[in-house]
């Protein structure tokens, strides 16, 4: 980045992006007791990426988080979600039956805990990856914003 | 016999999870395809997924036919009465079989057409969208939950928009076609979900069977009636019920030829299935407002589709548009069969649904073969092809005759059943429309066949060039099925009768 243009913007963005990322994970893990959940967390994660590309330019963001990665991330997210279902099936339960994950006797809750957390992780991957991919696809279509147009 | 053999040889887990595996296998394979580096590998995996899905669909049919009640109930996550239920009876088992079987044949023949239509680096993503669409359609057919049906409907629709837009490489008009379809499809989905919302407010449940049990007590409830109206319009849009079909001709004409074939054979059929499910299983034809809809809305619209869209098909110069309009007309036959609201009528509609997916599948597959070798889809381009591509074109001719309803083809059988059902119901005048519309089909199919077999080629430089073998084999399987089921229709008629009985909640018909 050359020159002193938008120095305030850059500094603030640099401070904000880590906070946004942390907030995303807060929303992710706080989802079971308060407002939030993996979908919102995924959106917040993607927002951090969008802010980065608005301030530092699309090419810099694409270097940091390449498009193939966001695309793969969304696919992996779906796989994680569906994979938990198959895992339960392999252990003799119904599709997505968390109780069956660890072959617990009735009354055990580890499977329920683990199942929902892994699934939420899958949703986080899929949503953040998907939204970033959509953003890249849209942003890649137009010329970048020039300095005079700010 | 084949079914029993499959049932006895299947492992326990396959029997227990068959209904859900039909959907889960393509759903899991789709993200794997998105990660696949090579298009050829992706195609191979897609082939594997659709084959496995077909196997589980046949298994599901076998289980449904061999269990006493004829219903598979599968609670996802084992959340009995709280969660999502997959509920398969004779009606959905039939639809699952049609969708997965056609998807398998479509994937087999797809490879050369994909190479021609899709950029190399996008092949695996294209096939990923196809598998998602397929998983969505199977999900709509398998689920027993009204909201889950919406989710699967959206999965299939969103990927369909992508698939249609992929035709833009050959013809930029695919983009507006896909956009129109997107707007209309979103409208349809919103109408459907608004309807489900009204019904949820009235009944407090999203499970279809629960809802059906609660609705008789709510007779005369205004929000139930409003919900019903929204759902019929939403699903009617998806099923291309006349006059809500305007998205269909463009979407079919400009999408890649493989997509056209798959959509023509499955997509509207699944929406029609959902309509039957709502009209007969959840709601009941005994309700007075539904009786009124059958007589004053569905029957006239079905007849209008048959006549008007057949007329429109006669005047098309592009073969794909001609077949697309004919598809809307054929949906009209199915709607007419449903609107009789007797077991015989619904059975005739279902039989036509089965046969239509066979004949349109074959027609569009042959068309894809022509696109592949001759790069033209107007009627003029077809002139003289009977001499240069006899195998492709005779299969096309067989399916075309079946579309008209010539005796000894599958199309004849379903029109015959429809005629019987109409006579039994006292709607003899509607039979006249069926005959008249078939007469129009003679014109538009005949015009094509005349060009293909009796005209000199427009471009005499054309050499003898068939579609590749990988297209010809599934094409001829479908063409021979058209003849076989026209001579011995016991298998599809049995399926349709059982399906109609399950939809209406009757004991098996025979």
What percentage of chain B has pLDDT greater than the value 90? 34
Q: Which of B28, B34, B74 minimises the CB distance to A82?
A: B28
Q: What is the DSSP string of B233-282?
A: HHHHHHTT-TTS-THHHHHHHHS-HHHHHHHHHHHHHHHHHHHHIIIIII
Q: How many Å apart are CA B260 and CA B367, to the nearest integer?
A: 10
Average pLDDT score, chain B: 87
* Cross-strand bridge partners of residue B75: B85
| Burial class of residue B470 in the structure, from the number of CB atoms within 10 Å of its CB (0-12 exposed, 13-18 middle, 19+ buried) | middle
* Cross-strand bridge partners of residue B86: B74, B143
Neighbouring C-beta atoms of residue B288, cutoff 10 Å: 10
CB-CB under 8 Å, B24 with A82: yes
The pTM assigned to this predicted structure is 0.91
Helix B257-276 × helix B146-165 angle, to 10°: 160
Report the run of H or E that residue B86 belongs to, with start and end. Answer: strand B85-88
CA B271 to chain centre: 8
Q: Taking a C-beta distance cutoff of 8 angstroms, is the pair B231, B196 a contact?
A: yes
Q: How many Å apart are CA B410 and CA A118, to the nearest integer?
A: 50
Residue B169 is predicted with a pLDDT of 83
Residue B508 is predicted with a pLDDT of 47
Cα dihedral sign, B61-B67-B70-B73:
negative
Chain B residues touching residue A78 (CB < 8 angstroms): 27, 30-31
What value does the mean pLDDT take over residues B225-248? 89
Q: pLDDT class for B196, splitting at 50, 70, 90?
A: very high
- The answer to whether residue B140 scores a pLDDT higher than 90 is yes
Residue B461 is predicted with a pLDDT of 60
Top residue of B31, B126, B175 to mutate, by most chain A CBs within 10 Å, is B31
- Of B16, B26, B27, B109, which Cα lies nearest the Cα of B472? B109
- The answer to whether residue A148 scores a pLDDT higher than 70 is no
Q: How many Å apart are CA B334 and CA B349, to the nearest integer?
A: 4
| Burial class of residue B130 in the structure, from the number of CB atoms within 10 Å of its CB (0-12 exposed, 13-18 middle, 19+ buried) | buried
Q: Which of A77, A95, A99 minimises the CB distance to B20?
A: A95
Which residues lie closer than 8 Å to A107 by C-beta, 6 or more apart?
Answer: none
Q: Taking a C-beta distance cutoff of 8 angstroms, is the pair B471, B365 a contact?
A: yes
Half-sphere exposure of B304 (CA within 13 A, CB side): 12
Exposed e or buried b for every residue in B406-431, given b needs 16+ CB within 10 A?
A: beebbbbbbbebbbebbeebebeebb
Chain A touched by B24 (CB under 8 Å):
yes
What value does the mean pLDDT take over residues B221-236? 90
Q: Taking a C-beta distance cutoff of 8 angstroms, is the pair A44, A27 a contact?
A: yes
Q: How many Å apart are CA B145 and CA B447, to the nearest integer?
A: 46
Q: What CA–CA distances, in Å, run from B437 to A49, B269, B404, B440?
A: 58, 20, 9, 5
Report the run of H or E that residue A17 belongs to, with start and end. Answer: helix A7-30
Structure tokens at B148: 């889950």
CB-CB under 8 Å, A99 with B34: no
Residue B173 is predicted with a pLDDT of 87
Structure tokens at B360: 């349109």
Which residues lie closer than 8 Å to B472 by C-beta, 6 or more apart?
Answer: B369, B391, B392, B395, B466
Distance from CA of A47 to the nearest CA of B (A): 23
Structural domain boundaries in chain A: 7-149
Q: Which of B31, B74, B78 minimises the CB distance to A75?
A: B31
**SS3 per-residue string spanning B296-307:** HHHHHHHHHHHH
Residue A21 is predicted with a pLDDT of 93
pLDDT in tens, A60-116: 888 888 888 998 999 999 999 999 888 888 888 888 888 888 888 777 788 888 888
Structure tokens at A133: 């991919």
Residue A150 is predicted with a pLDDT of 57
> Which of B8-12, B151-155, B255-259, B493-497 has the weakest average pLDDT?
B8-12
- Of B160, B159, B176, which Cα lies nearest the Cα of B168? B176
pLDDT in tens, B157-170: 999 999 999 888 88
Q: What is the DSSP string of B341-358?
A: -SHHHHHHHHHHHHHHHH
Collapse the DSSP code of B73 into the 3-class scheme (helix H, G, I; strand E, B; otherwise coil) and give the result: strand
pLDDT in tens, B417-430: 898 888 888 888 88
Shortest CA distance from B26: residue in chain A: A82
Structure tokens at B421: 């059902």
Top residue of A70, A77, A79, A126 to mutate, by most chain B CBs within 10 Å, is A79
Residue B509 is predicted with a pLDDT of 42
Neighbouring C-beta atoms of residue B22, cutoff 10 Å: 33
Q: pLDDT class for B493, splitting at 50, 70, 90?
A: confident
Residue A125 is predicted with a pLDDT of 93
Which residues of chain A approach chain B closer than 8 Å at the C-beta? 71-72, 74-79, 82-83, 85-86, 88-89, 93-100
Residue B510 is predicted with a pLDDT of 40
- The answer to whether residue A142 scores a pLDDT higher than 70 is no
Residue B204 is predicted with a pLDDT of 86
pLDDT in tens, B340-376: 888 888 999 999 999 999 999 999 998 888 888 777 7
Strands B72-75 and B85-88: antiparallel
Q: pLDDT class for B55, splitting at 50, 70, 90?
A: very high
Shortest CA distance from B129: residue in chain A: A75
* Cross-strand bridge partners of residue B39: none
Q: How many Å apart are CA B392 and CA B356, to the nearest integer?
A: 19
Q: How many Å apart are CA A78 and CA A73, to the nearest integer?
A: 9
pLDDT in tens, A17-65: 999 999 999 988 887 777 778 899 999 999 999 999 988 888 888 888 8
Chain A touched by B217 (CB under 8 Å):
no
What percentage of chain B has pLDDT greater than the value 70? 98
Q: How many Å apart are CA B182 and CA B184, to the nearest integer?
A: 6
Shortest CA distance from B128: residue in chain A: A75
Chain A touched by B13 (CB under 8 Å):
yes
Structure tokens at B301: 């619209």
Cis peptide before B243 (omega within 30 of 0): yes
- The answer to whether residue B507 scores a pLDDT higher than 80 is no
- Of B461, B456, B260, B438, which Cα lies nearest the Cα of B366? B260
- Of A59, A72, A69, A64, which Cα lies nearest the Cα of A17? A64
| φ, ψ of residue B72 in degrees (nearest 5) | -100, 125
Which residues lie closer than 8 Å to B400 by C-beta, 6 or more apart?
Answer: B359, B363, B445, B448, B449
Chain B residues touching residue A100 (CB < 8 angstroms): 78
CB-CB under 8 Å, A75 with B34: yes
Average pLDDT score, chain A: 85
Shortest CA distance from A80: residue in chain B: B28
Residue B459 is predicted with a pLDDT of 66
Residue B130 is predicted with a pLDDT of 93
pLDDT in tens, B280-322: 888 887 777 778 888 888 889 999 999 999 988 888 888 889 9
What value does the mean pLDDT take over residues B414-443? 89
């Amino acid at each position: 980045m050359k020159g002193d243009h938008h120095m305030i913007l850059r500094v603030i963005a640099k401070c904000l992006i880590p906070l946004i990322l942390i907030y995303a994970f807060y929303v992710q893990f706080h989802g079971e007791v308060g407002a939030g959940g993996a979908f919102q967390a995924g959106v917040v994660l993607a927002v951090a990426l969008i802010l980065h590309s608005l301030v530092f330019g699309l090419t810099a963001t694409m270097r940091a988080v390449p498009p193939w990665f966001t695309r793969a991330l969304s696919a992996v997210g779906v796989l994680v979600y569906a994979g938990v279902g198959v895992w339960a099936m392999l252990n003799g339960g119904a599709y997505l039956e968390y109780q069956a994950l660890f072959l617990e006797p009735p009354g055990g809750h580890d499977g329920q805990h683990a199942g929902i957390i892994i699934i939420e992780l899958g949703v986080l991957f899929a949503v953040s990856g998907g939204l970033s991919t959509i953003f890249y696809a849209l942003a890649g279509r137009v010329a970048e914003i020039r300095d005079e147009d700010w | 016999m084949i079914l029993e053999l499959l049932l006895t040889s299947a492992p326990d887990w396959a029997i227990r999870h068959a209904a859900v595996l039909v959907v889960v296998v393509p759903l899991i394979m789709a993200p794997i395809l998105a990660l696949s580096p090579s298009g050829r590998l992706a195609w191979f995996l897609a082939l594997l997924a659709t084959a496995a899905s077909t196997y589980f669909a046949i298994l599901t049919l076998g289980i449904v036919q061999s269990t006493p009640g004829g219903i598979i109930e599968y609670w996802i996550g084992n959340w009995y009465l709280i969660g999502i239920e997959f509920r398969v009876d004779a009606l959905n088992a039939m639809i699952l079989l049609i969708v997965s079987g056609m998807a398998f044949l479509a994937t087999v023949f797809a490879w050369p057409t994909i190479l021609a239509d899709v950029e190399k680096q996008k092949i695996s993503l294209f096939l990923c969208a196809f598998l998602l669409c397929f998983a969505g359609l199977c999900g709509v057919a398998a689920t027993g939950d009204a909201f889950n049906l919406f989710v699967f409907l959206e999965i299939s629709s969103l990927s369909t928009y992508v698939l249609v837009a992929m035709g833009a490489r050959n013809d930029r008009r695919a983009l507006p076609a896909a956009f129109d379809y997107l707007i209309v499809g979103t409208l349809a989905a919103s109408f459907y979900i608004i309807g489900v919302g009204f019904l949820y407010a009235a009944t407090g449940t999203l499970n279809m069977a629960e809802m059906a049990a609660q609705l008789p007590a709510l007779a005369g409830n205004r929000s139930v009636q409003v919900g019903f109206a929204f759902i019929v319009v939403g699903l009617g849009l998806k099923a291309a019920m006349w006059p809500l079909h305007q998205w269909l001709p463009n979407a079919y004409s400009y999408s890649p030829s493989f997509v056209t074939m798959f959509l023509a054979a499955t997509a509207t059929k699944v929406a029609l299935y959902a309509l039957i499910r709502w009209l007969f299983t959840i709601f009941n034809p005994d309700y007075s407002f539904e009786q009124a809809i059958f007589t004053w809305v569905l029957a006239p619209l079905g007849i209008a589709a048959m006549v008007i869209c057949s007329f429109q098909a006669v005047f098309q110069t592009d073969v794909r548009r001609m077949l697309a309009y004919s598809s809307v007309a054929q949906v009209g036959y199915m709607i007419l069969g449903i609107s009789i609201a007797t077991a015989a009528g619904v059975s005739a509609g279902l039989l036509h649904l089965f046969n239509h997916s066979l004949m349109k599948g074959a027609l569009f597959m042959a068309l894809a073969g022509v696109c592949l070798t001759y790069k033209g889809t107007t009627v003029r381009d077809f002139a003289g092809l009977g001499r240069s591509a006899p195998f492709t074109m005779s299969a096309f001719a067989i399916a075309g005759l079946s579309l008209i309803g010539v005796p000894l083809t599958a199309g004849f059988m379903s029109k015959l059943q429809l005629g019987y059902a109409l006579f039994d119901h006292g709607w003899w005048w509607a039979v006249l429309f069926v005959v008249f519309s078939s007469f129009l089909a003679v014109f538009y199919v005949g015009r094509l066949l005349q060009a293909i077999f009796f005209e000199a080629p427009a471009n005499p430089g054309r050499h003898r060039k068939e579609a590749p073998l990988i297209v010809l084999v599934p094409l001829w399987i479908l063409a021979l099925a058209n003849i076989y089921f026209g001579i011995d229709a016991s298998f599809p008629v049995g399926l349709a009768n059982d399906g109609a009985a399950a939809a209406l909640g009757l004991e098996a018909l025979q």
